Amino acid sequence: MTKKTTYNFLVITILIILLVIFNGFVYTSNENKNPVKLTEQGLHGQRLWQENNCWSCHQTYGLGGYLGPDLTNIYSVENKGPMYIKAFLNSGVKTMPKFNFSDAEKEALVTYLKFIDSTGYYPNYNAKFKPNGWVEIEYKNEK
Amino acid sequence: MKNKAAIIFLITALSALLVGMLFGLFAALQYLIPEFLKDLIPFHKMRPFHVTTVITWIILCATGSIYFYLTQIEKLKLFSNKLMKLHLVVFLLTGLGIYLSYFFGKMEGREYLAFTPILTIPILFGWFLFGINYFKTMMKQVKIWPVYYWMWGTGIVFMMIHLTEAHLWLLPYFREHVIKDLTIQWKSYGSFVGSWNMLVYGISIYIMAKIKGSDAIGRGKLAFFFYFLGLTNLMFGWAHHTYIVPTQPWIRYVAYGVSMTEWIILGYMIYDWKKNLSQTKKEAYPLAYRFLVSTDFWIFINLIIALLFSIPAINFFTHGTHVTVAHSMGTTIGINTTILFASLLFIISRISAFSKKQETLIKRGLWGFNITLFLFFSALMVAGARRSHWIYTGNDTSFSNMQDSLFWVYFAFFVFGVVLTTSISIIGLPILKKLIKSLRV
């Protein structure tokens, strides 16, 4: 092995060690001060969310497709909430197809969205902007 | 043609691009006429077809190109031809499995990897075969690796790592914690794209070296400095996707710091751009060269955008809007696709020459491609700006009213999409014909 190759391997090894440490922290540390764990029903809702590709059109925390609105705080936002969500699910609107969810499935999806809602805010209207470009976001339940 | 497997990779890739663009048009049409074909091909089913097919284009074209370079241009003896063929068969069968999974609505996966997760096993196996073949071939026959060989090796290894990471949600520990789960999902996607960029950018350096007739570009200290910088970004620079997700602040600090190192790349590009153009021996490979010049332009535009929205204060307003889509279209079509077209044209130049008429057609197609991609990209930026404005100032208007107000922007986006697809077909079809013909020789 040449000197240059050894040097390259050394740099890659250092980067990989740092990555392993970094991943270790990301995987094992609490996501924030008030981590929320999904219940069985919430996990059922999450499964339905995936199997029906809800993410194709909707977002949570701005991540997902853009044909439909973001649903991060749909559960708690004024004039919306569980009944509103359930009404949309099987009726279908202009862009949204008509699904055929059972009552239990609708309940599971609402539970999932309730959990998402409890994790934080999006849009984060009370975020604070710092002069160095940083944004301090508002965490839920931190007050 | 002796090495048919590499060519079949390329033919499949190009076919995927042409079909994937059509899927994209069908999906985009639903922004305009939501009721149209909603029951037959709803958006939520069309989008995975589009996304998977265009990702297939990038992955298979990069893979086929690397196999071709090693065996046909570098004249290296592949560790095992059988492994390469097995890799091809595994990927083709898995692709078929993915389409069947979509067709029958078995989409238990997530965004970008919507197929039933069991199909990830053969995909990983395919990458493993590629890795074995690549490293066994290279370590035995090449003593000092230029940077592109390192990039390809790194791309293969990190593809496996991040494809696995993207499926950590299968473990209850991860999927039970919504925020951690979301963070890891987007961490893996950022690094997954970084991994295929290692393959594709390595290809661009390889072609540049071949066009120049000198390997210096791939052996200098600067090339390795940028490689390590890119690798650092692949590993740690993903979190601008999740600035707004309420995860630990230190995760976001690291991303902010690492993302900003890309300014070095931009600074160097501005310094080096002209110099590179004048030194290149463009006469020998006129078509491949033209596509690489286009790549330069798109890298410049997209790097500026990526750097801007890596600043949290800007990301705050662009996140969750079509600005992000504009960036991903700009990078996958503007950068990856032009590099891969350059690769295909470089490969064709080694197989058989285009007629003058075909060459002119491809050049015109490239013009159409660049102009319409710019307009397509601009339409998405406008839609993103409008959406951001609505999110932060216009919440008295309903979502559907905001969408309706964007009708003409979506209309323009669709029309530019049609012209873009046509331009890509004008470029792609003669290449596809040549590749198919080369199989018969």
Q: What is the DSSP letter of B355?
A: P
Task: Tally C-beta pairs within 8 A across A and B.
Answer: 172
Q: How confident is the model at residue B388 (pLDDT cuts 50, 70, 90)?
A: very high
Q: How confident is the model at residue A94 (pLDDT cuts 50, 70, 90)?
A: confident
The two tokens of residue B326 are: 């504009």
Which of A26, A37, A121 is opposite residue B184, by nearest beta carbon?
Answer: A26
Q: pLDDT at residue B291 above 90? A: no
Question: Between these two residues, A1 and A129, which has the higher pLDDT value?
Answer: A129
Q: Are A58 and A71 in contact (CB under 8 A)?
A: yes
Q: pLDDT at residue A143 above 80? A: no
Q: How confident is the model at residue B263 (pLDDT cuts 50, 70, 90)?
A: low
Lookup result for tokens 């370590």: B139
Name the phi and psi angles at A52, rounded to 5.
-100, 10
Q: pLDDT at residue B277 above 60? A: no
Q: What is the pLDDT of residues B92-131, one digit of tens each?
A: 999 999 999 999 888 899 999 999 999 999 999 999 999 9
CA A103, A106, A108, A114 torsion-angle sign:
negative
Q: Per-domain residue ranges for chain A?
A: 1-30, 40-119
How far apart CA B432 and CA B441 sit, in angstroms, is: 15
Give the model's pLDDT for residue B282. 61
Element (DSSP H or E) covering residue A59:
strand A59-60
Report the residue count for chain A. 143
**Is the CB of B108 less than 8 angstroms away from the CB of A95?**
no
The answer to whether A6 faces chain B, any CB pair under 8 Å, is no
- Give percent of chain B with pLDDT exceeding 70: 95
Q: pLDDT at residue B192 above 60? A: yes
**Is the CB of B320 less than 8 angstroms away from the CB of A26?**
no
The answer to whether A20 faces chain B, any CB pair under 8 Å, is no
The H-assigned helical ranges of chain A are 3-28, 40-51, 82-91, 103-119
Q: pLDDT at residue B278 above 60? A: no
Which of B143, B180, B186 is opposite residue A31, by nearest beta carbon?
Answer: B180
Give the model's pLDDT for residue A12. 95
**Is the CB of B183 less than 8 angstroms away from the CB of A31?**
yes
Give the model's pLDDT for residue B288. 84
Q: pLDDT at residue A69 above 70? A: yes
Q: Which residue of A has its CA nearest to B108?
A: A51
The answer to whether B399 faces chain A, any CB pair under 8 Å, is yes
Instruction: List, in order, residues 6 or more apart from A44 with CB less than 8 Å away.
Output: A105, A108, A111, A112
How many CB atoms sit inside 10 A of residue B238's CB?
Answer: 25
3 state SS of B144: coil
Q: pLDDT at residue B360 above 90? A: yes
How far apart CA B89 and CA B272 sit, in angstroms, is: 42
In the CATH scheme, what is the homologous superfamily, with its name and number, of domain A40-119? Answer: Cytochrome c-like domain (1.10.760.10)
Q: Which residue of B has its CA nearest to A126?
A: B392
**Is the CB of A133 less than 8 angstroms away from the CB of B314?**
yes
For B:224-263, CB contacts with A below 8 A are 224, 228, 231-232, 235-236, 241-248, 250-251, 254, 256
How far apart CA A90 and CA A94 sit, in angstroms, is: 13
Q: What is the pLDDT of residues B129-151, one digit of tens each?
A: 999 999 999 999 998 899 999 99
Which of B47, B231, B321 is opposite residue A65, by nearest beta carbon?
Answer: B47
Number of H helices, E strands in chain B: 17, 0
Q: What is the pLDDT of residues B67-87, one digit of tens each?
A: 999 999 999 999 999 999 999
**How far does A97 lie from chain B, in Å, by closest CA?**
7
Q: Are B66 and B51 in contact (CB under 8 A)?
A: no
> Average pLDDT in the B51-61 region?
97
Q: How confident is the model at residue B2 (pLDDT cuts 50, 70, 90)?
A: low
> Average pLDDT in the B387-401 region?
87
Q: How confident is the model at residue B14 (pLDDT cuts 50, 70, 90)?
A: very high
> Average pLDDT in the A9-15 region?
95
The Cα diameter of chain B in Å comes to 67
How far apart CA B128 and CA A107 sit, in angstroms, is: 42
Question: Between these two residues, B353 and B169, which has the higher pLDDT value?
Answer: B169
**Is the CB of B246 less than 8 angstroms away from the CB of A11?**
no
> Average pLDDT in the B238-265 region?
80
Which of B177, B244, B256 is opposite residue A31, by nearest beta carbon?
Answer: B177
The answer to whether B120 faces chain A, any CB pair under 8 Å, is no
Q: Are A133 and A51 in contact (CB under 8 A)?
A: no
Give the model's pLDDT for residue B342. 94
Q: pLDDT at residue B265 above 80? A: no
Lookup result for tokens 């789960």: B181
Model pTM above 0.80: yes
Give the model's pLDDT for residue A124. 93
Residue B87 CA from chain centroid, whole number: 20
Q: What is the pLDDT of residues B174-188, one digit of tens each?
A: 999 999 999 999 999
Q: pLDDT at residue A35 above 80? A: no
**How far does A120 lie from chain B, in Å, by closest CA?**
6
CA dihedral B139, B142, B146, B149 (to 10 degrees): -40
Task: Among A51-60, B316-325, B390-399, name the one with the lowest average pLDDT.
Answer: B390-399
* Chain A environment of B312 (Cβ under 8 Å): 133-135
Give the model's pLDDT for residue B1. 56
Which of B35, B43, B184 is opposite residue A56, by nearest beta carbon?
Answer: B43
Cis bond leading into B42, ω under 30°? no
Report the candidate in B302, B280, B332 with the shortest Cα–Cα distance to residue B62: B332
Give the model's pLDDT for residue A65. 93
Instruction: List, in order, residues 6 or more apart from B27 with CB less than 8 Å away.
Output: B43, B46, B47, B49, B50
Q: Are B376 and B413 in contact (CB under 8 A)?
A: yes
Task: Tell me the HSE value of B417 on the side-chain side, using a 13 A CA sphere.
Answer: 22
Average pLDDT, chain B: 90
Lookup result for tokens 């950590």: B168
Residue A88 CA from chain centroid, whole number: 21
| Cα separations in angstroms, B247 against A32, B38, B178 | 5, 37, 10
Q: Are B119 and B94 in contact (CB under 8 A)?
A: yes
Give the model's pLDDT for residue B270. 59
**How far does A4 lie from chain B, in Å, by closest CA?**
8
* Chain B environment of A134 (Cβ under 8 Å): 256, 312-313
The answer to whether A8 faces chain B, any CB pair under 8 Å, is yes
How far apart CA A134 and CA B311 sit, in angstroms, is: 7
Task: Say yes or no: ipTM exceeds 0.90.
Answer: yes
Q: pLDDT at residue B266 above 80? A: no
* Chain B environment of A119 (Cβ under 8 Å): 178-179, 246
The answer to whether A18 faces chain B, any CB pair under 8 Å, is yes
> Average pLDDT in the A78-87 region?
89
